[in-house]
Each structure stands twice: as structure tokens, then as C-alpha cells.
Amino acid sequence: MAGNRAVAYKGPGTVEVIEIDYPTFELKDGPGVNPANVGRKVPHGVILKTVATNICGSDQHMVRGRTTAPPDLVLGHEITGEVVETGPDVEFVRKGDLVSVPFNISCGRCRNCKARRTEICLNVNPDRPGSAYGYVDMGGWVGGQAEYVLVPYADWNCLVFPDRDQAMEKILDLAMLSDILPTGYHGAYSAGVTTGSTVYVAGAGPVGLAAAASAQLLGASVVVVGDFNAERLAQARSFGCETIDLAKGQPHEQMEQVIGDPFVDAAVDAVGFEAKGHEGKEAPATVLNSVMMVADAGAAVGIPGLYVTGDPGGVDESAKRGALSLDFGTGWAKALSFVTGQTPVMKYHRDLMKAILRDRLHIAKAVNAEVISLDDAPRGYAEFDKGAARKYVIDAHGSLG
């Protein structure tokens, strides 16, 4: 039987490559596994040989010690791989298929899945609706920053690429289908971006850049990206975005100079709860408040940025339980709409795959994808944490050249 190596969280600021068990079609006890899921049979699953698995900003929240993630939790929820084994109940996915896996695990059977709300599946996490690979409080499904990974409900969860050779030619773009591209697209789409829209995206990390590229795909006339990080702002400008340096003031204070109007038609929060204010101090509600200020009356705000119910490193007791000081009166007075929560990846990933395969979207270039080895993952985490304007793609088997 093959071995298995994986990237694991060891403690605040530390990840290591460790040896773990090769997957089987049964959930075993381990770090972060919900006791109610231990022993759960997975005859509907497949085992993937990982081709590409990405480091995500959501992973960084755990690595910084900002969640209750236990040591040795295997990380990684952005998974692209080759099917090497199929469970006895798998009917349509076949050995040798190259597939993208949505980060949110779903059963395809519950009422929410049937309504395309796969981000709040009722059957995969005993604690609450919604699940994900390698993430704290998400049921304990082992993460995909590994050589091999188990994917449950494979006929439902696996997006099979129609032509393997064509897919490998565009594999870095397709590797973004598991999370950041649908997540960025969801942020723009749920904010109502359409032909001619003016759009503000808060945050120039990979999800923010994906939201900006998605807004362009949806027909925005101008996309403005705001951040403190000069390198990341330069990356946004590289594919046609306007930018705002937040060190020079709030978005609503600078927007008119950029687009000739102080307000935008749609706004996206791609930052989340570890946001920082202008003094450089953490202020978890600052981005939400700033996008409400810059959004026009009647606009919508997409919020793909992560907010949590428990943050041990929160700046105060309220922040530690996810309670934020929102200027909600502004949102109410403007009649703003908000869309929050995990992205229902399946709602978008097939059409986004077609956009990639037809050369409508070059998302790997937009987010500045960089391939690293599994052994180099700790370096990738460290550089990403320091603000590198790159999206790190782990090549677990040396198959990306």
C-alpha cells in the first residue's frame, strides 16, 4: 500500500510535513474528527492522488492560532486530483478521471443540497450545517494538502474534466475551481455585478483578486481594489483593475478621485475577521463598515471573507465570540443587501471550468500562482503570511512540471 505525506498544523505559526495513513473508505479517529463521524463508512467515496492543492487564506487563520484547530490537523481544502480508487457505491466517476473537488463537502441528498445550497449541507458535519476538508469544526474530514485524500459522495462532489490532456495544459487555472475562483465569483455575483457595474473589492489577496477578475468577467465597467499591500495592489493593476492604497484613507474618501463618483454599484469584502484599520491595529469590523460606506443606496454587498464564531486571538471579548461593532444603521439607511457564508461552489464551478477551457479567464495569472513542492509548503505558508502577492499551489507528486 502507498504511503501518505501531508501538511499539518502543529501550533501557532508552525506547519510541518508529516506521515499520515493512506485513506480508506471509513473515517478514522484523529485530530479534529467529530466523534460522531468516527467509523463512518464511505462506500460512495473515491481516493484521489493529489495533482494540485493550494494554500488558502482560510488556512492561515488556523495557522496563526486564530481558531480552535488542534495540533496535527491536516490542512487543505483546495483539491484537484486523479482518481486512483473508487468505493463500491460509486457509479459514474472512474479510475483515471482528473477532477476538481469543491472545498465544501456535501451529500447531494438533503433538502439544502437539492436547493443548490451545498455550503450548508445537513448530513456531513454532526455539529452544524456545512463542512470542508481539513478545517476546524467542519466534521473532521482529512485535508487535501497531502499525497492522497478521500473524497466522499464522489458522484456528487467530483467535477470531472472532460479532456485530461486539455485540462493538464490549463491545470493551474483549473486548480482554482475548488475554492478561490468560485468564492471570488460568488462575492461579485451576489453583490449584483453586471454589465457596466462599478465595483469595489476590499482586499487584494487571492480571493480579492479572484473577485476582481470575476467582476470583469461579469461585465463590470471598472473594478477598484483596496489594500495596504503595495505588491498585491500592483498585482491587481496587472490585469486592469484600479487600486486604492488604504494607507492614504478610507475607500469612500478616495473613490471619487478614482472613478468620478464617491459610491459604487457593488461591493465585496474579501478580507474577513482579521482586518486591520488605518493605524495598523486589528479591527475586525472595519472592512464591513467601509464597504457599507462606499456602496451606493440600494446596492448589494458580497461577503466571501471569512468570519468565525470563535477567535481565541480576538482583540476583545466580543471579537473572541465573533460579535462585531457594525455600523448597521448605515446599512439599514441605505437599504443594502448582504450575502454571507461559505460559497456554494457547485453553483458556479462547471461554468467557470468552461470559461477557463475556452480561454475566457486566466485566473492563475491574475492571482500570480506559484508552484511549490509538498516539502516547501512551510515556506509557502510563511511567505503568504508575510503578504506575498502569490497563490501557492502545492505539487504533491511533481506532476505539474
Say yes or no: 203 and 293 in one domain: yes
Q: Would residue 401 count as lying in a domain?
A: no
Residue 54 in domain: yes
Q: Are residues 173 and 192 in the same domain?
A: no
Reported as a pLDDT band with limits 50, 70 and 90, residue 179 is: very high
**Does any domain span residue 52?**
yes
User: What does DSSP assign to residue 156?
Assistant: H
User: 316: domain CATH number?
Assistant: 3.40.50.720
Same domain, 254 and 151: no
Cell for 287? Answer: 472592512
Last residue of a domain, one of 339, 359, 380: 339
Give residue 370's pLDDT.
97
> How many domains would you assign to the chain?
2
Helix (H) or strand (E) holding 288: helix 286-294
d(CA 117, CA 138) in angstroms, rounded, equals 16
**Residue-level pLDDT at 312:** 83
Q: Grid coordinates 478561490 are at which residue?
A: 180
Give the model's pLDDT for residue 16: 97
Indicate if 50 and 71 belong to the same structural domain: yes
Q: Quick one: pLDDT at residue 345?
A: 97
The rounded distance, in Å, linking the Cα atoms of 72 and 16 is 9
Do 214 and 249 reside in the same domain of the chain?
yes
Could you tell me the residue range of the domain that residue 304 belongs to? 184-339
| In a shared domain, residues 348 and 280 | no
Phi, psi of 82 (to 5 degrees): -105, 130
Q: What is the mean pLDDT of residues 329-349?
A: 96
Q: Does 118 lie in the same domain as 175?
A: yes
What cell does 165 get? Answer: 490532456
pLDDT at 30 over 60: yes
CA gap 383, 385 in Å, rounded: 5
Amino acid identity, position 233 = L
Q: Which tens digit of pLDDT belongs to each residue from 297-307?
A: 999 999 999 88
Residue 161 inside a domain? The answer is yes
Residue 321 pLDDT grade (very low, low, confident, very high; cuts 50, 70, 90): confident
Q: What confidence tier does 279 reach under pLDDT thresholds 50, 70, 90? A: low
Residue 97 lies in a domain: yes
Please give the pLDDT value at position 285.
86
The answer on 39 and 136 residing in a single domain is: yes
Q: Which of 339, 356, 387 is the last residue of a domain?
A: 339
Both 156 and 28 in one domain: the answer is yes
- One domain for residues 200 and 296: yes
Using the predicted structure, report yes or no on whether residue 200 has a pLDDT greater than 70: yes
Which pLDDT score, from 0 to 100, does residue 2 have? 72
Residue 1 clears pLDDT 70, i.e. is over it: no
pLDDT at 362 exceeding the cut of 90: yes
Confidence of residue 314 (pLDDT cuts 50, 70, 90): confident
Last residue of a domain, one of 324, 339, 354: 339
Position 222 scores a pLDDT of 98
The distance from CA 52 to its chain's CA centroid, rounded to whole angstroms, is 15
Exposed/middle/buried for residue 269 (C-beta within 10 Å: 0-12, 13-18, 19+): buried
Give dist(CA 38, CA 34) in Å, integer: 7
The Cα–Cα gap between 197 and 252 comes to 17
Average pLDDT, the chain: 94
Residues 216-242: tens digit of each pLDDT: 999 999 999 999 999 999 999 999 999
**What's the pTM value of the predicted model, to 2 decimals?**
0.95
**Residue 205: its pLDDT value, please?**
95
Whether the per-residue pLDDT at 281 is higher than 90: the answer is no
Which of 142, 53, 113 has the alpha carbon at shortest distance from 371? 53
**Cα-based distances in Å from 303 to 57, 185, 256, 270, 396:** 15, 11, 23, 6, 31
**Confidence class of residue 277 from pLDDT cuts 50, 70 and 90?**
confident
pLDDT average, residue stretch 194-201: 98
pLDDT on residue 54: 97
Where residue 47 falls among pLDDT bands split at 50, 70, 90?
very high
Does residue 400 lie in a domain region?
A: no
- Would you state the pLDDT for residue 146? 98
Counting beta carbons within 10 angstroms of the beta carbon of residue 94, is it exposed (0 to 12), middle (13 to 18) or buried (19 or more)?
A: exposed
**Nearest-angstrom CA–CA distance, 311 and 274:** 10
Provide the pLDDT confidence category of residue 163 given band limits of 50, 70 and 90. very high
Mean per-residue pLDDT for 158-183?
97
